[in-house]
Structure formats: C-alpha cells, structure tokens
Chains A and B, each alone.
Chain A
Amino acid sequence: MFEGLINFVDGVSSADNTHKPSKKKVKKYHHHEKTITERLEDDVLNQKSDSFDKFYSVVAIIMAIIIIGSLLFTVSFLPSFGDPTNPANNIVSEKYIVEGVKDTHAINLVAGMILDYRAFDTLGESTVLFIAASAVIILLFANKTKKEHEAEEKEEQKYENKNDPILRHGALLIVPAILVYGIYVVLNGHISPGGGFSGGAIMGAAIILYNLAFGDKSTSEFFSFKIYKRIIISALMFYAISKSYSFYTGANQIHSIIPKGVPGNILSSGLILPLNICVGIVVCCTMFGFYSLFDREEI
C-alpha cells in the first residue's frame, strides 16, 4: 500500500527483522559449522515457528476485536454526548465553576483548579517528571573520560551540520520568537489557555532547536549538568514549600500574607503565577535533558 512512500523515504530502519545481530555476537554464539542434521532440525523448527506466528497473529486480531466489541457495547449504554444532565456534571464541577474565581482569583478555571484546589496532584506530576528524568539519567548517562570525550567530539563533527547557513539563519530567526511565545504562555497561564506544562514544553523545544543548529558546545555554555540539577531541585523545593504554606494557612483559617490581586491582571491570583513558573522551568529542563541524554548520553 505504502511501497512508493517507503522507497521514497530511503528506509532508515525497517521494522521487519532484517538486521541480524552484529558480527561479534554471531561469532560468540556460533562456534562451529552446522551439520546437515542440525540444518534439517532448524528447518523443521522454522516451519513450526512460522505456523505459530500465523496462529499468534490471528489470535491477537481476534482478541483486539473482542476488546473493541465489548468496549463499544458498554459505550452504547452511556448517557448521550453533550447532555447537561450527564452524571459527570455534578456538584463538584458546579463548586469549581461558581466559586473558582472568588477563591483563586484566576480567570482560567482549569489553571485555578490544578494549581490551587488540586495543587498536590500537580506536585506529584512534577515529581513523576523528575523521577522519569532521573531514571533516564541512570539508564543512559555515560561516565566518559576526557580522551573518550575528545575522540567523540571529533566523530560528532562528521555528523553535525556545523556550517549549514540555512539552518543557522532560520534558527536565529525562529528561536527567539518561540522562546518569547513560551514565556508568554507560562506567564499568562492563569488568564488564558496554557500554563506551566505547555509553556515549558515550548521553551524546551526552542532550546532543542538551538542545540540542533549551533552544536553542543554553544548550549553547554549556559546549560550544564550542575545547572540542571540546581534549577530542577530548587524549583521543586520552592513549589513544595510555598504550597505547604498555602495548605497550612488555608486549613487553619490563618490570614495568608500573599495578596490575591485583581482577577485578569498578570500579577494576580496569589501563588498560581510563581507555581506556573516553577512547573514551566521543571518541564523545560526535563525536556531538554531528555533530548540531550538521548542524543549524546550526557547533559
């Protein structure tokens, strides 16, 4: 069906198992020449596994069809789409909508919900991001010596398009615009759609583009592993401390010293703006950290 497309894209790596394990591995596993009986046995085994593969794929398709059918059978009994009397629209959502702006002073009710009423949830989410980044660091971080580092840099220069004028000039034009847009989305998270996660991802994408165009050295001038650790940990700590203060004062009816401001202004809605900035910084650093760990096994 897609043969023309596939030929056109110059198959980077095909999904069918054409690539065998490397020569080293093959040598390790096959010490001796195969005898005729062994070859015959292999043929018989291959036939068996072929029939097993066919059986497996048929059973898998039947399983998927059964799952789709049972789920669709359940969906057909659900209340109809867009109905205001839906049981999902109960007293909880009414509370969030009617009293949300009074309580949080945030125009965007979703931002007010996830960063004020359910801020503990969002702290857990940022922690999940941090733990995922730590797991990727454990899996991929390579402790390179200086010699290996220099050798790799020479190797890298073959792959990198260091002097590609189109990419460089295009990146020079686009990167500041993307960065400003990301900062705008983070700062206006409580007034308009957006917030820490989307703005942080946009800023991370801008830094990734900068790295692709100008090479690793230019990025490592302002973003090293030390700075990464400090930024992420201080942002998470600030989040936890400020949120626990607001929980403490809210639960004990103590007067909070954080001014709420006028709804609709940028400097309003209490803690939501600083928390959005914290989440944005964590997401931005994590996205760029993922990229650079995947690309060259260090930050």
Chain B
Amino acid sequence: MVQGLFTNYYETTAMIVFGIGFATLLLNKNIIKKIIGFNFMDTAIYLFLASKGYITGRLAPISFEGMNPTFENYINPIPAGLVLTGIVVSVSFSAFFLALAIRLYKAYNTLDLNEIIRLKNMEAEEE
C-alpha cells in the first residue's frame, strides 16, 4: 500500500493538499481565508486530473510531425482540456465569492463569520 502511495506521488500530494484546503475551510473564521482554502481544493483536484493523463517518456500534445502524429509519442490531451476549463471557472467563482464578501463587510462591518451570525441573531431578536 505504501508502495502505491510513493509511485503515485502527484496524486498523493493532490489528496493531501485537498485535505489541508478542507481543514482551512473548517478552521478559519475569516471569509477570505475560507475562499483561499476553496482555491487550494480546486488546484488539488486539477493536479490529480492532469497527473492521470501523464505517460512517462512522452511529450506534450503539440504535434511535431505535422499532419500524421503517432499515438505513441504524445500524452493524453483530454485531462489538459478539462483542467483548462476548470481553471477559468474557478477564477470566476472566486471573483463571485469575493464580491459577496465585500457586500457582507458593507452590511456588518466585519469579515468574521461567527460575528456575522451573532449580529444576524441580534437583528432577529430586535424584530
């Protein structure tokens, strides 16, 4: 089992970074820290996907033979295409999260999630 972890070292790293991002998401009360943790989880998944497409000794999928590329010379291009989509989507999502964080700061004057929940409860009690 440990042998499998060492041969798949990129996948192992990806999973550990995923766990650390999840811990960041749970442990920190600050909203911007939580968004950074979310970004860590994103990159971990991309690293896992892209490392599944790698084949030892082959080159990036840019054909140097012109019209007739040989299958045995190139790595798998599908994970690269999927991850390229994912990176851009993750950027737009983090921009959306940050806009929501700015709105929350405008309303409650704090970025701390516990503080926001406390103020919210106070508002509800007053009404």
Contact = CB atoms under 8 A, between A and B. Distances in A.
Taking the complex as a whole, does A directly touch B, i.e. does some CB pair lie under 8 Å apart?
yes
A51 interface: no
Interface stretch (A70-78, A160-168, A170-178, A214-222): A70-78
B4 A80 contact: yes
A136 B99 contact: yes
Nearest to A289: B95
A93 interface: yes
B110 A21 contact: yes
Report the contact-size class of chain B (Cβ under 8 Å from the partner): 35 or more
A63 B88 contact: no
B76 to A, nearest CB: 4
B115 A17 contact: yes
A97 B32 CA distance: 42
Given A96-B77, A136-B99, A294-B98, A61 B27 contact: yes
A29 B15 contact: no
A235 interface: no
B43 interface: no
B5 A76 contact: yes
B1 A76 contact: yes
Contacts of B92: 128-129, 131-133, 286
Interface stretch (A35-43, A109-117, A249-257): A109-117
Contacts of B2: 76
A249 B87 CA distance: 31
B81 A84 contact: no
Contacts of B9: 81
Contact of B122 (A29, A68, A86, A129): A29
Contacts of A101: 63, 66-69
Given A83-B55, A125-B88, A60 B27 contact: yes
A48 interface: no
Given A197-B88, A294-B99, A97 B93 contact: no
A80 to B, nearest CB: 4
Instruction: Kindly name the residue among A82, A94, A102, A294 whose own CB sees the greatest number of chain B CB atoms within 10 A.
Output: A82
12 contacts: A15-B28, A60-B23, A64-B20, A65-B19, A68-B19, A80-B4, A84-B55, A94-B71, A97-B77, A98-B71, A136-B95, A140-B102
Interface of B: 1-2, 4-5, 7-12, 15-16, 18-20, 22-23, 26-30, 32-33, 51-58, 60-63, 66-71, 74, 76-81, 84-85, 87-89, 92-93, 95-96, 98-100, 102-103, 108-112, 114-115, 119, 122, 126
Interface of A: 13, 15, 17, 19-22, 25, 29, 57, 60-61, 63-65, 67-68, 71-73, 75-78, 80-84, 86, 88-89, 92-94, 96-98, 100-102, 107-110, 113-114, 118, 121-122, 125, 128-129, 131-133, 135-136, 139-140, 192-193, 195, 197, 263-264, 283, 286, 290, 293-294
Given A64-B23, A140-B103, 16 more contacts: A68-B18, A68-B19, A71-B18, A76-B1, A80-B4, A88-B79, A93-B78, A100-B77, A101-B67, A108-B63, A109-B63, A109-B69, A110-B62, A132-B92, A197-B88, A294-B95
